[in-house]
Amino acid sequence: MTCNHKLAVWLMAVAILVISTSIARSQVTVFADNFEDTTVVPGLPDAPQVGSYPTVAPTIPEAMVVLAGSPHPDSPAGGNNILHTTGKDRNYGMFSSAANGAGIVRLELDARLDASTDNAFGLFGNSSGGITLDSLNMTAWVRTGSDGKVYAYKAAWIDTGLTHTIGQWQHYVLEYVLGTDEFTLTAGGGSPVLLPYLTGTSATQINGVLFGQGGTNSTVGYTDNVVVSFQSSLHPGDANGDGLVNLADLQILGDNWQSSTGSWAAADFTLDGTVNLADLQILGDNWGFGTSTDVSFDEALALAGLAIPEPASLLLLSLLAPALLRRSKPV
């Protein structure tokens, strides 16, 4: 291999590393549950998982967890517990912070259907004109049928062409690009299938995930290892979506400091439900992106007038010291 080829390979590796790092930093988990904590605490998730459950009907999932003293024989990940949805019950996992703005919401879970019944899962948000379950608007709704077929809902249940085997676990991945009229679904080790089958209008935010079908349909289904993530198509730190990370974004963060607005547009870049030091650090790490501003980050903090009470300010200095040093000169 020549020196030029070696240099090209090295530059390509660096580029891939930079791109993958950027993507990873803009993708956050907004909900996760493996049902290992069976203590029924209304409104709280399985610590240290993300998200929460409603304090009223439908049933809190932890109350329906199937227990095992050792790794559960039916858990695909070898965990001790799994969620058992039975009868006409359905359950919801509520996000601490809605996934909204420009980006992709990704739902992953393991599911198994037993007996001659149906099971379902999906995402709900601010769609309209579609299916409403318990006052929640469904956006993407998937059903595993007793006939071994996988369906999606749009005015009626439509055969997706995907299949499952009753009595066996299968991994599902549902991806929805906010603001569009379709989603993709992957079943098992197959390829993603594009499904133009939203229950109603497109959604600009997703608030939670559904387990079980409920209603008039009986279910004998199992769910495990649920993870919902959101990957913003905006650059980390770009709150207003103008393609820049600058004083305007810092001002938005300052205006929403310590608030629980729970949105990317309010500078909650971690989507943990609160605008705090973690979000400020993300903004600082990406300060100057897309712009040739001659204002350093430490100067911008003073210009924005962001008041951070003690002892948080001391912690902030320790967290941002490297960023401040890097940005002591004009960007």
How far is C-alpha 225 from the chain's CA centre? Answer: 14
Residue whose pair of structure tokens reads 């409104």 in the numeric block:
43
- Going 197 to 148 to 107 to 32, the CA torsion angle's sign is positive
| pLDDT higher than 80, residue 25 | no
Please classify residue 213 by burial: count the beta carbons closer than 10 Å to its beta carbon, then call 0-12 exposed, 13-18 middle and 19+ buried. Answer: buried
Residues in the chain: 331
Measure Cα distances from 329 to 67, 294, 326 in Å. 58, 8, 7
Q: Is residue 22 part of a domain?
A: no
Q: How many domains does the chain have?
A: 2
Q: What is the pLDDT of residue 265?
A: 77
Do 34 and 102 fall within a single domain?
yes
pLDDT in tens, 221-236: 888 888 888 888 878 8
Do 297 and 320 fall within a single domain?
yes
CA 295 – CA 286 distance, rounded (Å): 13
Q: What is the pLDDT of residue 42?
A: 35
Do 195 and 255 fall within a single domain?
no
Residue whose pair of structure tokens reads 């004009």 in the numeric block:
330
Please classify residue 114 by burial: count the beta carbons closer than 10 Å to its beta carbon, then call 0-12 exposed, 13-18 middle and 19+ buried. Answer: middle
Do 208 and 118 fall within a single domain?
yes
Q: What is the pLDDT of residue 242?
A: 82
Q: Is residue 292 part of a domain?
A: yes
Q: Is pTM, for the whole model, over 0.75?
A: no
Residue whose pair of structure tokens reads 């409403």 in the numeric block:
132
Q: What is the pLDDT of residue 49?
A: 32
Contact 220, 114 (CB under 8 A): yes
Do 48 and 193 fall within a single domain?
yes
Q: What is the CATH number of the domain that holds 194?
A: 2.60.120.200
| pLDDT higher than 60, residue 31 | yes
| pLDDT higher than 60, residue 96 | yes
Q: Quick one: angle between helices 312-326 and 277-285, nearest 10?
A: 10
| pLDDT higher than 80, residue 152 | yes
Which of 232, 264, 286 lies at the terminal end of a domain, its last residue?
Answer: 232
Do 51 and 147 fall within a single domain?
yes
| pLDDT higher than 60, residue 35 | yes
Q: What is the pLDDT of residue 161?
A: 95
Q: Mean pLDDT over all residues of the chain?
A: 73
Q: Is residue 150 part of a domain?
A: yes
What φ, ψ does residue 88 adopt, rounded to 5°? -110, 25
Higher pLDDT, 52 or 211: 211
| pLDDT higher than 50, residue 10 | no
CA 15 – CA 141 distance, rounded (Å): 38
Higher pLDDT, 311 or 88: 88
Average pLDDT over residues 140-159: 93
pLDDT bucket at 12, cuts 50 / 70 / 90: very low
Average pLDDT over residues 122-132: 90
CA 291 – CA 250 distance, rounded (Å): 14
Contact 144, 120 (CB under 8 A): yes
Q: For residue 222, what is the DSSP state? A: E
Residues in a beta bridge with 121: 142, 211
Name the amino acid, one letter, at 148.
Answer: G
Do 225 and 82 fall within a single domain?
yes
Question: To the nearest whole percent, how much of the chain has pLDDT over 90?
Answer: 19
Measure Cα distances from 158 to 46, 252, 293 in Å. 34, 43, 52
Do 280 and 316 fall within a single domain?
yes
CA 231 – CA 271 distance, rounded (Å): 11
Is 92 in a helix, a strand, or coil?
Answer: strand
Which of 232, 267, 301 lies at the terminal end of a domain, its last residue?
Answer: 232
Which of 199, 232, 265 lies at the terminal end of a domain, its last residue?
Answer: 232
Is 280 in a helix, a strand, or coil?
Answer: helix
Range of the domain at 173: 27-232
Q: Is residue 122 part of a domain?
A: yes
Measure Cα distances from 206 to 90, 139, 203 in Å. 18, 8, 7
Q: Is the peptide bond before 58 cis (omega within 30 degrees of 0)?
A: yes
| pLDDT higher than 60, residue 271 | yes
